[in-house]
Amino acid sequence: MADHGRGPSAGERGLALALGGFVLFNRPLLDVFDLGIGVGIAGWPSIYLYVFGSWALVVLLLFLMTRRRAR
Amino acid sequence: MFHLWQLLPIALAYLLILFAIAYVGDRRAERGHSPLDHPTVYALAIAVYCTSWTFYGSVGRAAQGGFGFLPIYLGPTLAFAFGWVALKKMLRVAKTQRITSIADFIGARYGKSQALAALVTVVAVTGTVPYIALQLKAVSASVDVLLIEDTAGTFFSLDTAFLIAAALAAFAVLFGARQIEATENHPGVAAAIAFESIVKLVAFLAVGAFVTFWLYDGFADLFARAAAREDLARLLEFDAAAPGWVSLTLLSAAAIFCLPRQFQVTIVGNTNERHLDTAIWLFPLYLLLINLFVLPIALAGLLAFQPGEFDADVFVLALPMVEQAPLLTVFVFIGGLSAATAMVIVETIALSIMVSNDIVMPLLLRWSRDRLERVQDVTRLLLRVRQLAMVAVLLIGYAYFRVLDGSFGLVSIGLVAFVAAAQFAPLLLGAVFWRGGTCKGALIGLGAGFAVWLYTLFLPSLIGDALAGGPFGIALLAPQALFGLDGLDQIEHALFWSMLVNVGGFVLFSLLDRPSTIETTQATLFVECLRPDERPADVGPTQVPLQDLRRLAERYVGIEPTRRALRAHAHERGIQLRPDTLVDRDTIQAVERLIAGAIGAASARVAIASAVRPQGETTDAILEVLDETSQVLEYSRRLEQKSMELVQASDHLRRANERLRELDKMKDEFLSTVTHELRTPLTAIRAFSELLFDEPDMDQDQRMEFLGHIIRESERLTRLVNQVLDVAKMESGRMDWDIERVDLGAVLAESAVSVRGLYQTKALRLDLVRPPHPVWVDADRDKLQQVVVNLLSNAEKFAPQSKGTVRLELTDLGDRVQVRVTDNGPGVPEVHREAIFERFFQSNQSGMGNPTGTGLGLAISRMIVEHFGGRIWYEPNPDGGAVFAFTLPRALPRIDAAK
């Protein structure tokens, strides 16, 4: 069985994703994007975009993580 | 907007649809197409996490604190990412141990402890009560909003909430307690819950879309309008949401696993580990979607309504209602109802399983065992208990709702339940990651955390600020500010203190404790469950006949499932199981697992114990027996045995090696001695031959003398070579022995005859004394004669000339016969008595000459005698001289004595 550094295990990846998500969903990153209601894309407040955008990103990464395992 | 006569049928119709789905789901499952075969159903069932709290309460919280509702959903997202491995372990263990609930899981892990399982049940029930009250509050609030009739919260002088509670109880019982499942999977319920999750999501998205795109011109428009108002603008900034953001995230991350209903659908309700791979991302996606419109709806409501006109919790209903969209309004109402019923059904099922398995059953087993034995069908009893438990839980929930202090909003009530559930988190994590967690530690940790929760959250929720100054005025013990820790949100405060004593107690007392055998076994089983399976050593049969075990199982699980399970077990192990077969531990464990599916692991253990031992012994003694003879002990005993055998084997090898070396040395010595011995006569022969050759004129007498020497030495050489050959053959076992029945007396006589010439030359006397009858031995005739002749010729060599007498005597000693050769020669000095039987030992060494001796005679005689099973030795003659004697075993009489 080929075993040249197969990369992080599922558990490690999950942990990394969780920690990354925790950082994403918190200050100070949150404050970086909290630019006030006026500032945003097409009237969407930046913070709203940021929160749901990063949430969607986390979900996507979760999806990819499981696809990798299924292979 | 609606009359009761319009609303009620719609609600009932929806609930009936749900019931139909559950029914069809169960039927299909029986036929092999279980709804739980689809990973999507599994993932959507997990979405029961979103209750009417999500549906109504999120908007309410958003109206106050902007994004502050979000951590409750971000937490589970992160938890699913992080907890994948933990979940896998829990799933694996739950499957193999037939876990039926979170109480079962925790109790099973920490030593199959009934006490711990019972405590978990109590905590779960108490902690769920606020949550159920929350559902009742939400639904009754939604009904109040919609009804045109100003019922002021009562109907037919019956409280709306009570009616709702009653209706929910009825449906919970119908859904969840119709039959005892062997695995507590409830595929029908799972299908219904999944359906409800879809309804919830669609309804919420519908109203969200309605508000955003119909009432306003999209997100941009809505946000712009909100930003224009000062009081609303702040909601769009993070500051409004900041308080409790982190702690709420963590709390929800714990709750997604620790809430009894979540554990039930995620772990117990899982049929296939692979489904987890889908749920890991599908569930967070669901959470994302259902929260998309929360803030927009809140803003829209604040924009549309005057403060106080509608409670923010019901904006979701109020907005479409005010905008004259009746269909949507009803749809939203159904969505909210859906959310509430899903929660209640699953939660009460989970709680009823725990109450029946971990509180009622153990009590029954312990106190009225005989009464229980007389009950033919325990499954009916179990069902009754569960139904009662469901109704009781709803009643208590209703009572709590009534007594609840008004200051708590929906979300806050829910968080009280979250903190209670979070008390299980350390124990769950410890269950699959920390082998050191013990039962005592778990009991103390959980108990302490629960007590703190009761004091800091549950109590204040009922009595409000009455104790704000501390009991009896002791400010340090104030429920909302323990030990002076104020400045924290009430939830955070309670979470901090309860977690502190919980984790602290759990870790500390686990480290101080010494776990029992069963705790260690279970700890290993749980923590190492993802390692490849190793079957422990098979233990022998017990004293329990199969039919006892079978009857026991049938009472708890039913006849058919028992038969199937036993047949599968026998087939898997390749053994035969008949009614009177004494079962072994493997089978007992298999049956224990089967029963555990119905009544929980802890109770199953006690039930099995009653079958394995006769009545009369105390439960503790029985359990001790089960503990102390656990498979772990047996396995380690066998390991010890194996290692001892290994040590012995290596010892043998070492000794064999030493012996081989010795033999090798002896062989070398033998070779060197033999060659030396050969050389002596050869040298003599050569010397005399050369002399004869060199002097052809030697005189006749001289010549004859020399030739005589040559002849004698040649004879000696021949004798030596023959003897060496004999020795070699005898030692390597290649000697041909011709064993037959021999008359020893005749052999002696013949030997005497053969040495007569020799004796006459030296004028010696030979006396032969033997019994008149034949003396039979089993021996090789020629070799036997060789021995006797050897002894006689030895005696002749050392007997004094002309006065020597040699006595050859045969005596019958019963089971042995003895031959003695006595002479009156010089005898053998004491030091040599054993050595004379060694090879190449010659008396020349002591100065007495025997120039014709080879030194092998006695050695060969010994080998021959010992081959026949006898013994040969030397004794000193009391009259001076030597006695050589040997014994042989007497030949056993033959039945057909042939002569």
Q: Annotate B370-406 with b (16+ C-beta within 10 A) or e (fewer).
A: eebeeeeebbebbbebbbbbbbbbbebbbebbeebee
The larger pLDDT score, comparing residue B182 to residue B3, is at B3
DSSP-assigned beta bridge partners for residue B801: none
CB contact under 8 A, B227 and A38: yes
- Kindly tell me if the per-residue pLDDT of B282 is higher than 50: yes
**Cβ contacts (< 8 Å) between A21 and chain B: which residues?**
74, 77-78, 81
CB contact under 8 A, B78 and A22: yes
User: Cβ–Cβ contacts within 10 Å for residue B307, how many?
Assistant: 8
Q: Which amino acid is at B322?
A: V
CA nearest A49 in B: which residue? B292
**Cβ contacts (< 8 Å) between B527 and chain A: which residues?**
none
Distance from CA of A62 to the nearest CA of B (A): 5
Tokens at B346, concatenated: 């699953």
Which range, of B248-262, B504-518, B618-632, averages the lowest pLDDT? B618-632
Q: State residue B525's pLDDT score.
A: 77
DSSP-assigned beta bridge partners for residue B822: B807, B883
Is A49 touching B (CB cutoff 8 A)?
Answer: no
- Kindly tell me if the per-residue pLDDT of B140 is higher than 50: yes
Cβ-nearest to A66 among B227, B242, B280: B280
Cα separation, B805 vs B799, in Å, equals 7
The larger pLDDT score, comparing residue B390 to residue B470, is at B390
Cα separation, B200 vs B153, in Å, equals 25
Which residue, chain included where needed, has tokens 């702040």?
B234
Tokens at B111, concatenated: 């030593």
Cα separation, B549 vs B562, in Å, equals 10
Q: State residue B541's pLDDT score.
A: 52
Q: Which amino acid is at B573?
A: R
CB contact under 8 A, B77 and A34: no
Q: State residue B532's pLDDT score.
A: 58
Q: State residue B253's pLDDT score.
A: 92
pLDDT digits (tens, 9 = 90+) for B669-708: 878 888 887 888 888 888 889 888 888 888 888 888 888 8
**Cβ contacts (< 8 Å) between B224 and chain A: which residues?**
43
The larger pLDDT score, comparing residue B620 to residue B608, is at B608
Is B281 touching A (CB cutoff 8 A)?
Answer: yes
pLDDT digits (tens, 9 = 90+) for B536-562: 443 445 667 788 788 888 877 778 888
CB contact under 8 A, A37 and B223: yes
Q: State residue B152's pLDDT score.
A: 52
CB contact under 8 A, B82 and A42: no
Which residue, chain included where needed, has tokens 């009595």?
B463
Using CB atoms within 10 Å of the CB of residue B362, give its burial: 0 to 12 exposed, 13 to 18 middle, 19+ buried: buried
Mean pLDDT of the B337-361 span: 90
Q: Annotate B257-276 with b (16+ C-beta within 10 A) or e (fewer).
A: bbbbbbbbbbbbbbbeeebb
Q: Three-state SS string across B660-725, please?
A: HHHHHHHHHHHHHHHHHHHHHHHHHHHHHHHHHHHCCCCCHHHHHHHHHHHHHHHHHHHHHHHHHH
> pLDDT confidence of B103, banded at 50, 70, 90?
very high
* Distance set, CA B603 to CA B117, B185, B574, B609 (Å): 10, 19, 29, 10
Tokens at B459, concatenated: 């109590």
Q: State residue B897's pLDDT score.
A: 46
Distance from CA of B75 to the nearest CA of A (A): 9
* Distance set, CA B372 to CA B311, B376, B626 (Å): 53, 8, 22
**Cβ contacts (< 8 Å) between A38 and chain B: which residues?**
227
Cβ-nearest to B233 among A22, A27, A37: A37
Q: State residue B506's pLDDT score.
A: 93
Question: Which of A34, A48, A65, A67 to probe by mutation at the B interface, max B CB count within 10 Å?
Answer: A48
pTM: 0.65
pLDDT digits (tens, 9 = 90+) for B452-488: 999 888 888 877 766 666 666 666 666 666 776 776 7
CB contact under 8 A, B237 and A38: no
- Kindly tell me if the per-residue pLDDT of B580 is higher than 60: yes
CB contact under 8 A, A14 and B81: yes
Question: Which of B396-410, B527-541, B611-625 is modeled with the greatest confidence?
Answer: B396-410
Identify the helix (H) or strand (E) that includes residue B354. Answer: helix B326-355
The SS3 assignment for B581 reads coil
Q: Are B445 and B505 in contact (CB under 8 A)?
A: yes
Is B83 touching A (CB cutoff 8 A)?
Answer: yes
- Kindly tell me if the per-residue pLDDT of B889 is higher than 50: yes
Is A17 touching B (CB cutoff 8 A)?
Answer: yes
DSSP-assigned beta bridge partners for residue B872: B886
Question: Which of B236, B247, B273 to probe by mutation at the A interface, max A CB count within 10 Å?
Answer: B236
Cα separation, B226 vs B222, in Å, equals 6
Mean pLDDT of the B106-128 span: 91
- Mean pLDDT taken over chain A: 72
pLDDT digits (tens, 9 = 90+) for B61-73: 888 888 888 999 9
Tokens at B95, concatenated: 């499957």
The larger pLDDT score, comparing residue B581 to residue B282, is at B282
Question: Which of A9, A24, A66 to probe by mutation at the B interface, max B CB count within 10 Å?
Answer: A66
Cα separation, B449 vs B456, in Å, equals 10
Cβ-nearest to A11 among B84, B226, B284: B84
- Mean pLDDT taken over chain B: 82
Residues of chain B with pLDDT > 90, as a percent, come to 20
- Kindly tell me if the per-residue pLDDT of B534 is higher than 70: no
Q: State residue B539's pLDDT score.
A: 44
Identify the helix (H) or strand (E) that includes residue B583. Answer: strand B582-584
CB contact under 8 A, B67 and A51: yes
Q: State residue B473's pLDDT score.
A: 64
> pLDDT confidence of B619, banded at 50, 70, 90?
very low
Mean pLDDT of the B613-633 span: 51
Cβ-nearest to B81 among A18, A31, A47: A18
- The DSSP code sequence of B52-103 is HIIIIIHHHHHHHHGGGGTHHHHHHHHHHHHTHHHHHHHHHHHHHHT--SHH
Cβ contacts below 8 Å, chain A against chain B, sum to 102
Mean pLDDT of the B12-30 span: 87
Q: State residue B615's pLDDT score.
A: 42
Cα separation, B555 vs B371, in Å, equals 13
Question: Which of A41-55, B82-96, B593-607 is modeled with the greatest confidence?
Answer: B82-96
Which range, of B43-57, B582-596, B856-870, averages the lowest pLDDT? B582-596
